[in-house]
Amino acid sequence: MRRGILISICTVSLLAAVVYSSRSDASTREISYQVKESNRNFEVREYPARIVAEVEVSGAREKALSEAFQILAAYVFGKNRPKDPVALSKSLSDKNDKVKLSMTVPVTTQSVGHDGQTIKMRFFMPPEYSMDKLPVPEDKRVKVFELPPQKIAVLKFSGSARKDNFDRHLLTLRKMLETRGLSPSGEPYEAYYNPPFTPIFLKRNEICIPF
């Protein structure tokens, strides 16, 4: 009896997480791109120019990921000041006059440095903002700049976002590029599309290589 009740509670909790995750994902805009080739979980995409907010954090992977996310989230949700001189003058006297940006997906990460102990994380800015309209970060570690148009090879997969899972799919993606005679023009990076509470079997992850 107790076991049946426990199973029912777990089932209801899982369904609630699925529904909440689906609604949350649906309300978050994905950066636009064009698919030039598609084969199951493999895609070749063309991305237009995009503006990103970027930060680099060193340390143990999980801790660095968490800190980087918090820094960028703080910028997006108001730890900033308007770039417009008139609005800036007003914001200096009104601390509540902050710019809140909408969240987009994916969030990307990349291991950089000789020892790979530094995490580079990027948030993509909403497309309606140009460089001259985006607010200035209060945290000087946050860099805001525009990426040029890119062609990117992508391998999609679900499940854990652990590094060993990404590394395994990276090997597969490299082989697919070699088969097609495509040479990387940049370092690989990871892309995350779901909030942490998303059930693991619903998570959308990607490993990406520019070429």
Q: How does DSSP classify residue 107? A: E
Residue 117 lies in a domain: yes
Question: Is 15 a residue whose pLDDT tops 90?
Answer: no
Residue 105 lies in a domain: yes
User: Is the N-terminal amide bond of 106 cis, ω within 30° of 0?
Assistant: yes
Q: Which domain holds residue 175?
A: 29-210
14: its two tokens: 């899982």
172 vs 62: CA distance, rounded Å = 24
**155 C-beta neighbours (distance < 10 Å), count:** 22
pLDDT per residue as tens digits for the range 52-83: 999 999 999 999 999 999 999 999 999 999 98
pLDDT per residue as tens digits for the range 120-156: 999 999 999 999 999 999 999 999 999 999 999 999 9
Per-residue model confidence (pLDDT) at position 19: 32
Residue 9 lies in a domain: no
DSSP string, 121-143: EEEEPPTT--TTTSPEESSTT-E
Lowest mean pLDDT among 23-37, 42-56, 100-114, 190-204: 23-37
Q: How many CA atoms within 13 Å lie on the side-chain side of 23?
A: 5
Residue 22 lies in a domain: no
Taking alpha carbons only, the member of 43, 51, 57 closest to residue 110 is 57
pLDDT band at 28 (very low <50, low <70, confident <90, very high): confident
Which CATH number fits the domain that encloses residue 58? 3.20.80.10
Question: Is 97 a residue whose pLDDT tops 60?
Answer: yes
**Residues paired with 95 in a beta bridge:** none
Per-residue model confidence (pLDDT) at position 95: 56
Residue 6 lies in a domain: no
Question: What pTM was computed for the model?
Answer: 0.83
pLDDT band at 96 (very low <50, low <70, confident <90, very high): low
Per-residue model confidence (pLDDT) at position 113: 84
Residue 23 lies in a domain: no
